[in-house]
């Protein structure tokens, strides 16, 4: 009974793997998971008595070795030519076959036949694998049997005779297998990557490997972007990689001195496990490189501290906080906090301000003092107002803050806007928006506004007396 159970389940696993390679999407994933689950039931038997269960070994081989080919035959009706093509496909065993007949049979390429004139067949594949439908629709010869051999994200040029099909099936496949790509992925991407020879794919893979990408990283990249295999490496990919590496080098050399697999990769994995979005991880890698290149043990401590400070891993401020804590000593951070305390920030306001804009602890002591002095003493604002919009402290005092606040002062004195304007609303927008909203709009009432904005005219030259300025001092 056990032998019958093993035989039946072995056949089931093989058929599930074949089905997974034929269809696409979630259904393909479901078939493969079922095959893996079924095989796991007999894992102990396989480990203890592998030689006694050759067909089950064959099933395991099909699941684990990503080298199986898929043949798609397109013809409009049954014919002798179709039978000859099917025979050619079934006669061509994988070059890595063993001497055991059962294993050899299971490693025969999968064969799909589709008739473009059969409405039911076309509808079936439309719902299960759109790529098969596209192959049928794009078949170059309607009066012949057309064969395409697909494997590992590539699809051969079509052939129309058994000898050519046999030759294709005996070709050494592109080295995509070496980066762990599964056979189920071949058909799903075959419409996007069709080329005559594997040399282009080989050169793309070699380029990535030479730049330090691991096989698993290359596999993930190609699964997401199979069209990369069509790129000319030296012309398209190499300049981009050199730019990225040079860009990272300009920001920090640490990433080139660290063991990528020992530190950088585990750091990124930790962020992924916390649910940090890929876009924010990319921000950390491309713009905040020094943090992601930290020793993994230290990186763990910093991430823990950032979480304890109340930062949300889903927000971009989470990775900014990691960068700021990784680049400063605790004594330095405490010195910055003390400056904010002297300006009247409470402990809650300091923590809240840091959460809103972690970079406020990276400012120089002088910049913090000048910024707070301007907003509190020149603009007459409460210190707590700045704490609620801490990002304004990062702006240039001479190039943005003073020019814009001068315009706002003039508009307030003319009674054109309210005195209790929002600092963030005035200082954060783009220059184009600010000019349209506060300068061009009031050009008729105050023709000199542009000169005030450009620093060519003092606000007192508009005709105001110093006592009219009130709570705000002349800038």
Task: Convert the pLDDT of each residue in 356-382 to its tens digit.
Answer: 999 999 999 999 999 999 999 988 899
Domain boundary among 326, 359, 377: 326
Check whether residue 125 and residue 231 sit in a common domain. Answer: yes
C-alpha torsion 43→49→53→56, nearest 10: 20
Distance, C-alpha 37 to centroid of its chain: 30
Percent of the chain exceeding pLDDT 70 equals 67
Looking at the predicted structure, is the pLDDT value of residue 40 above 80?
no
pLDDT at 243: 59
pLDDT at 213: 74
Q: How confident is the model at residue 140 (pLDDT cuts 50, 70, 90)?
A: low
- How many other β-carbons are positioned within 10 Å of the β-carbon of residue 15? 13
- Residues near 11 by Cβ (< 8 Å), separated by ≥ 6? 55
Q: How confident is the model at residue 256 (pLDDT cuts 50, 70, 90)?
A: very low
Largest CA distance in the chain: 105
pLDDT at 274: 92
What is the DSSP-derived secondary structure letter of residue 228? Answer: G
Handedness of CA 190, 193, 195, 199 (dihedral sign): negative
Q: Phi-psi category of 295—alpha, beta or left, where left has phi over 0 and alpha has psi -120 to 50?
A: beta
Check whether residue 281 and residue 402 sit in a common domain. Answer: no
Answer whether residue 47 is part of any domain. Answer: yes
**C-alpha span between 382 and 204 (Å, rounded):** 59
16 lies in which domain range? 1-64
User: How much is the average pLDDT of 451-456?
Assistant: 88
Check whether residue 211 and residue 91 sit in a common domain. Answer: yes
| C-alpha angle 172-174-179 in degrees, rounded to nearest 5 | 125
Answer whether residue 370 is part of any domain. Answer: no
pLDDT at 24: 61
Looking at the predicted structure, is the pLDDT value of residue 451 above 70?
yes
The alpha-carbon radius of gyration of the chain (Å, integer) is 33
Q: Which of 135, 55, 141 is nearest to 98 (CA)?
A: 55
- Decide if 67 contacts 96 (C-beta within 8 A): yes
- At 389-402, the pLDDT tens digits run 999 999 999 999 99
Answer whether residue 174 is part of any domain. Answer: yes
Answer whether residue 375 is part of any domain. Answer: no
**C-alpha span between 187 and 130 (Å, rounded):** 9
426-430 contacts at long range (C-beta below 8 A, 24 or more positions apart): 427/392, 427/395, 427/400, 427/401, 428/391, 428/392
Q: Which of 267, 198, 186, 168 is nearest to 222 (CA)?
A: 186
Write down the pTM of the prediction: 0.48
Check whether residue 170 and residue 260 sit in a common domain. Answer: no
> What is the residue-averaged pLDDT of the chain?
75
Domain total in the chain: 4
Answer whether residue 269 is part of any domain. Answer: yes
Check whether residue 76 and residue 196 sit in a common domain. Answer: yes
Answer whether residue 87 is part of any domain. Answer: yes
Which comes out higher in pLDDT, residue 411 or 101? 411
Check whether residue 172 and residue 32 sit in a common domain. Answer: no
- Decide if 321 contacts 299 (C-beta within 8 A): no
- At 206-215, the pLDDT tens digits run 888 777 777 7
Q: How confident is the model at residue 72 (pLDDT cuts 50, 70, 90)?
A: confident
Check whether residue 33 and residue 52 sit in a common domain. Answer: yes
- How many other β-carbons are positioned within 10 Å of the β-carbon of residue 439? 20
Check whether residue 178 and residue 76 sit in a common domain. Answer: yes
Check whether residue 131 and residue 258 sit in a common domain. Answer: no
Alpha helices in 414-468 (DSSP H): 423-427, 431-434, 449-453
Say which residue the tokens 């299971």 belong to. 106
Specify which of 19-23, 161-165, 409-413, 417-421 reaches the highest per-range mean pLDDT.
Answer: 409-413
What is the DSSP-derived secondary structure letter of residue 152? Answer: T
What is the DSSP-derived secondary structure letter of residue 158? Answer: P
User: How much is the average pLDDT of 178-200?
Assistant: 50
pLDDT at 358: 92
Q: How confident is the model at residue 152 (pLDDT cuts 50, 70, 90)?
A: low
- At 298-356, the pLDDT tens digits run 999 999 999 999 999 999 899 999 989 988 888 998 999 999 999 999 999 999 999 99
Looking at the predicted structure, is the pLDDT value of residue 255 above 60?
no
Check whether residue 74 and residue 159 sit in a common domain. Answer: yes
**C-alpha span between 141 and 158 (Å, rounded):** 9
- Residues near 382 by Cβ (< 8 Å), separated by ≥ 6? 376
Say which residue the tokens 């920030």 belong to. 345
Answer whether residue 346 is part of any domain. Answer: no
Check whether residue 47 and residue 88 sit in a common domain. Answer: no
pLDDT at 172: 47
Answer whether residue 212 is part of any domain. Answer: yes
Tally the C-alpha atoms within 13 A of residue 454's C-alpha that lie toward its C-beta.
5
Domain boundary among 18, 41, 64: 64
Check whether residue 16 and residue 57 sit in a common domain. Answer: yes
Domain boundary among 303, 326, 349: 326
Query: Is beta strand 154-155 parallel, antiparallel or unpaired with respect to 110-114?
Result: unpaired
């Amino acid at each position: 009974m056990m032998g019958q159970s093993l035989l039946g389940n072995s056949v089931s696993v093989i058929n599930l793997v074949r089905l997974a390679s034929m269809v696409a999407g979630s259904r393909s994933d479901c078939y493969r998971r079922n095959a893996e689950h079924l095989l796991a039931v007999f894992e102990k038997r396989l480990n203890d008595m592998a030689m006694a269960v050759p067909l089950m070994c064959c099933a395991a081989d099909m699941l684990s070795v990503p080298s199986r080919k898929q043949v798609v035959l397109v013809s409009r009706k049954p014919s002798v030519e179709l039978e000859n093509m099917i025979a050619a496909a079934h006669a061509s065993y994988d070059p890595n076959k063993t001497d055991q007949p059962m294993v050899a049979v299971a490693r025969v390429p999968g064969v799909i036949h589709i008739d473009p004139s059969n409405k039911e067949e076309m509808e079936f594949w439309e719902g299960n694998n759109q790529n098969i439908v596209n192959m049928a629709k794009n078949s170059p010869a309607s009066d012949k049997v057309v064969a395409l051999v697909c494997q590992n994200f590539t699809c051969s040029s079509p052939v129309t005779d058994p000898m050519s099909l046999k030759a294709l099936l005996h070709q050494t496949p592109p080295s995509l297998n070496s980066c762990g790509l599964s056979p189920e992925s071949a058909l799903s991407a075959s419409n996007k990557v069709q080329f005559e020879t594997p040399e282009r794919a080989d050169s793309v893979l070699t380029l990535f490997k030479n730049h330090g990408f691991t096989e698993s990283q290359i596999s993930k990249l190609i699964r997401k972007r199979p069209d990369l295999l069509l790129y000319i490496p030296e012309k398209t990919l190499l300049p981009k990689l050199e730019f990225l590496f040079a860009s990272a080098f300009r920001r920090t050399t640490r990433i080139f001195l660290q063991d990528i697999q020992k530190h950088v990769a585990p750091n990124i994995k930790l962020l992924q496990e916390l649910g940090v979005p890929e876009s924010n991880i990319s921000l950390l890698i491309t713009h905040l490189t020094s943090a992601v290149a930290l020793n993994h043990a230290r990186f763990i401590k910093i991430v823990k501290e950032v979480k304890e400070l109340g930062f949300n891993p889903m927000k971009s401020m989470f990775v900014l906080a990691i960068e700021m804590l990784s680049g400063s000593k605790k004594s330095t951070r405490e010195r910055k906090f003390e400056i904010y305390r002297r300006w009247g920030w409470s402990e809650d306001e300091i923590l809240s301000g840091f959460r809103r804009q972690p970079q406020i602890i990276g400012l120089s002591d002088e910049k913090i003092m000048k910024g707070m002095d301007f907003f509190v003493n020149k603009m007459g604002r409460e210190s707590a107002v700045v704490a609620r919009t801490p990002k304004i402290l990062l702006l240039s005092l001479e190039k943005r803050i003073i020019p814009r606040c001068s315009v706002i002062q003039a508009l307030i004195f003319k009674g054109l806007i309210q005195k209790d304007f929002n600092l963030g609303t005035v200082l954060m927008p783009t220059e184009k928006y600010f000019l349209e909203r506060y300068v061009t709009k009031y050009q008729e009432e105050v023709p000199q506004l542009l000169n005030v904005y450009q620093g060519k005219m003092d606000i007192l030259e508009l005709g105001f007396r110093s006592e009219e300025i009130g709570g705000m001092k002349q800038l």
